[in-house]
Amino acid sequence: MAHKFALESEFLTADIIEAMEFPFLVNKYGVFGVPKTIINDQASIEGSLPEDKFLQEILKAVQASV
Amino acid sequence: MLEEKEKRLVAELFKNLKNPVKLINFTQELECQFCRETRQLLKEVSELSDKVSLEVHNFQLDKEKVGQYGVDKIPATVIEGDKNHGIRYYGVIAGYEFATLLQDIVDVSKRESGLSPKTKDQLREVNQKIHLQVFTTPT
């Protein structure tokens, strides 16, 4: 889903990260379950959400940080 | 990495590809196990369609490409169409993520995400940088 978002927006970059290989990031972002999505290093979404809800959560997080 | 049966299924799926897709892989000379597995998988996938190509870069030496794609760790994989869409993987692409990789290749080739019109409209209105990092595990 995150990659599909990236395809539709030139402002959005999406990394899918294999958690086991990057323990320092797991520590840094407090990943205790997957999937976990970190938005602009600030906010996070736990679990997977349907398309519209996922986008709303991302947009909300981005607006809150402006 | 892939079994013959899997290769046949992927080749069948790739018959639907429209435009060329480039898989850009970042690794290093003395490859870690995951780097080697990732590169090998991408090599096998790229051989299943003449529309899919593989480009391998040295993370330590090829600073220009590393900068261009904003890659900060390896193994890294970028899925590129006629431009860089900001679609990246870090780490091995296995399990469920292998299906995601195939979907990415199809989407990028068709330049079509398959998202709802409403979602597309909202995404096109985005005018500030958003960086998503999705943590997964291979299952």
Instruction: Give the mutation candidate from B69, B131, B139 for the A interface (greatest A CB count, under 10 A).
Output: B131
Backbone angles phi, psi at B109, to 5 degrees: -65, -40
| Chain A nearest CA to B130, separation (Å) | 5
CA separation for the pair B112, B108 (Å, rounded): 7
pLDDT tens digits for range B82-113: 999 999 999 999 989 999 999 999 999 999 99
**B23: Cα within 13 Å, side-chain hemisphere:** 29
Tell me the β-bridge partners of B55.
Answer: B24
Average pLDDT of span B52-79: 97
Judged by CB atoms closer than 8 Å, whether chains meet at A11 and B129 is answered as yes
Q: Which domains does chain B carry?
A: 4-124 (3.40.30.10)
Contacts of B2 (CB under 8 A, 6+ apart): B10, B41, B44, B45
Chain A touched by B79 (CB under 8 Å) = yes
Would you place residue B31 in the very low, low, confident or very high pLDDT band (cuts 50, 70, 90)?
confident
**C-alpha to C-alpha distances, A23 to A28, B32, B36, nearest whole angstrom:** 8, 15, 19
Residue of B nearest to A38 (CA): B133
Chain B touched by A59 (CB under 8 Å) = yes
Q: Which of B94, B72, B13 is nearest to B48 (CA)?
A: B13
- Residue in B88, B111, B132 closest to A39 by CB: B132
Judged by CB atoms closer than 8 Å, whether chains meet at A11 and B130 is answered as yes
Instruction: Give the mutation candidate from A10, A15, A40, A60 for the B interface (greatest B CB count, under 10 A).
Output: A15
Q: How many residues appear in chain B? A: 139
Q: Please say if the pLDDT value at position B30 is more than 90.
A: no
| Fold entry, domain A2-64 | Glutaredoxin (3.40.30)
**How do beta strands B130-136 and A36-39 pair?**
antiparallel
Question: A46-61: b or e for each residue (b if 16 or more CB lie within 10 Å)?
Answer: eeebebeebbebbbeb
- For chain A, the domains span 2-64
First CA to last CA distance, chain A? 24
ipTM of predicted complex: 0.97
Would you place residue B39 in the very low, low, confident or very high pLDDT band (cuts 50, 70, 90)?
very high
User: Which chain A residues are closer than 8 Å to B137 by Cβ?
Assistant: 18-20, 34
The vertex-B115 CA angle with A65 and B13, nearest 5°, equals 130
SS3 B87: strand
